Chain A
Amino acid sequence: MRRLCFYILLLIVSFYCLGPYLWQFITSLKPDAELSRLPPILPDNPTFDHYVSIFRAHPFFRIISNSLIVACSTTFISLVIGSLAAFALAKLDVRRKRLILVFVLSVSMFPAIATVSPLYIIIRALGLRDTVFALIITYTSFSLPLTIWILTSFFRSIPHEIYLASRVDGCTVFQSFYRIILPLSAPGIFATAILVFIFSWNEFLFALTFTSTVASRTIPVGIALFPGLHEVPWGDIAAASVVVTIPLILLAFAFQRRIVEGLTAGSIKG
């Protein structure tokens, strides 16, 4: 009886989490005529028209590839730069270590809106408006605090003796970084990579401000500004939402353990 109750509660929680997405999926399969009718909840004549339409009638392919380029580059660059910094903070003899960590943490608390106006002016002056490059560099710096914070906590969990032993064996500082410490913290690096990727895939404020055409427009902006002739194309929006969320859902199912590790390392252990 208690068990049954427990599983019913689990079912409610799952429905709460999945319900809205499920409804978006159902909507994406409904032909336009059925969108303005309730009941029935399920489509009478399910169709893939909306999926065809977002790729045929809209430059959706371009938008997705922009997002992929931005998210992958950001993830790569922040991991390279961030892991170097985290290594120094975790294993090297750096002066004012605490001060640097507090600085990094406080940077992550800065409201993005407070930097968007000068950044816009700079980017316009440099002629980088409407390029993926503007987004990559901005995202990289905003994801660096998180990257450094999580990786420092992972690097610290590697016994210091291992680092010292590698130095005694003749590794330079840099060699012991990429030959010893990096491979040992692969799970942490992976967790960080997923978090940074999701952040860059989902970011909206800077993307909205710095992009103006499909040349650099990313998914969130593409969906927010979904063009409709007379009325809002709910079916197409639903199809687009389903498509762009699938990679994230796959990530959530495949790597839930890693993601939760990353999230908790980023907040609780610190």
Chain B
Amino acid sequence: MTKILVVDDSNSIRDMVSFTLKSAGFETIEAKDGVEGLSKAKAANYDLVISDINMPNMDGITLCSELRKLPSFKFTPILMLTTESSSEMKMRGKAAGATGWLVKPFNPEKLLETIKRVVR
């Protein structure tokens, strides 16, 4: 089953994303900040990582670059959840190795539509 790591410090967003993905048949693991996200990532293989950017302890951009350093995550799709779609954000994300982004607020339908570009 396709396994997705969901990293967001907001309980409600995390719940919503996780629920939406589970309902679509994906398996989800959750983390509440970059540190927890990184440690969970090291413990298993994932088909996709969805992470918020603004989080305490370790933000999404840093998490992304840390993940790219792990051999198992070299080509894993990593999507950033961002409230801005500025080109500056794009640059930062790409520089850190992000695959793409999803702009908040998004609804569950949009989420599922979008992740089709990176998972089956």
Q: Do A and B come from one complex?
A: no
Task: State the B residues within 8 Å of A (CB).
Answer: none
List the interface of chain A (C-beta within 8 A of B): none
